[in-house]
Structure 1
């Protein structure tokens, strides 16, 4: 009975698998594991100091979530880091746009006091983002985190549990593209800041249509700009 309870609640092996998953995912989204890079259970286990079992479970989860794909080249099927492609970027960012657009619509429908509070907070983060992008040596990680904070705060302000779940499911999958954008398109962040400002104005004015439209424009423009970068650097480029 004790063993069954322990297995049902998740034991050390489950915890280890979750830790390995988190570590590999972090390496992938931060582009330290390059698109197209091979991942072998033996090598990953050795580097992370674990057995192959949690690595195998972590790779299965990463494959289900789209971070890893199975290559059929050669005699054996091998897991590799999913390539960055313009099609994938466009699809992911357009999905994020729809989810966040609905959240923006809800945010613009809040009562005036809450809209004013949210607008002030978004304006503060947006100003920090502007300053970070205009620094003499912009920190791409800081730029990404501030942009992420802006959008996350918008969603959290008004989205219900189902919409939050959708956002939490899809947004992490777009993180690699967000980091590429922040690193390769720092000069374009000023455009994003202006688009954010239009969103803030619509939220404060209680304009649901305008708020939703501003979010859709922001993400669709980002997808278009990012597609140009991927075309220039190659879908498996040296990120």
Structure 2
């Protein structure tokens, strides 16, 4: 268990007690490390393939869709949602979206991006409202591809009213600490529940939510300022 966490390979093993061990959200770091290792090779391959990279992406996406019908239910969450070998299709879709963005960026179009931003959010809300009508396997894998790809592509242009709001310095700051928030929140919840369950200091659920949120934001802000930022600066200086 400890070795898989240290080497960031826990997400390759479709056993819940392993990929959610220590700090549950760290499974995603395992995936990201694998994606970053693959990224240079994917760029080389895509440059060689040219337009055929879209066909390759479609084939890989189709394979995921087909496999949802054949993988054992006991392994579906550990594979479709967690395993990097399956989730790399999401990463590749992100590369394709970026390629599409670059191709569209320099084209002059009479488009109201505010309408598109609201529309992309509406599409996501629509899909979210239909989540109970699809299988868990679809939710783990393919169901949110369309709404998320739409949101990423449209908001990448940063030309709508919502983008302007998100460009405010406080919104940017929240975005900067969001990774730390994600990584810390599970630990805060786990140890607070253990301590509060033992001593029963707070019983009001709303107060608990506010307290947990506040603690996590403060911890995430401290992590960003005193760990992430200095480490990023040190890495850049080394390069």
TM-score where L is the length of structure 2: 0.27
Which of the pair is proportionally richer in helix?
2
Tell me: higher relative CO, structure 1 or 2? Use CA pairs within 8 A at least 6 residues apart: 1
TM-score where L is the length of structure 1: 0.27
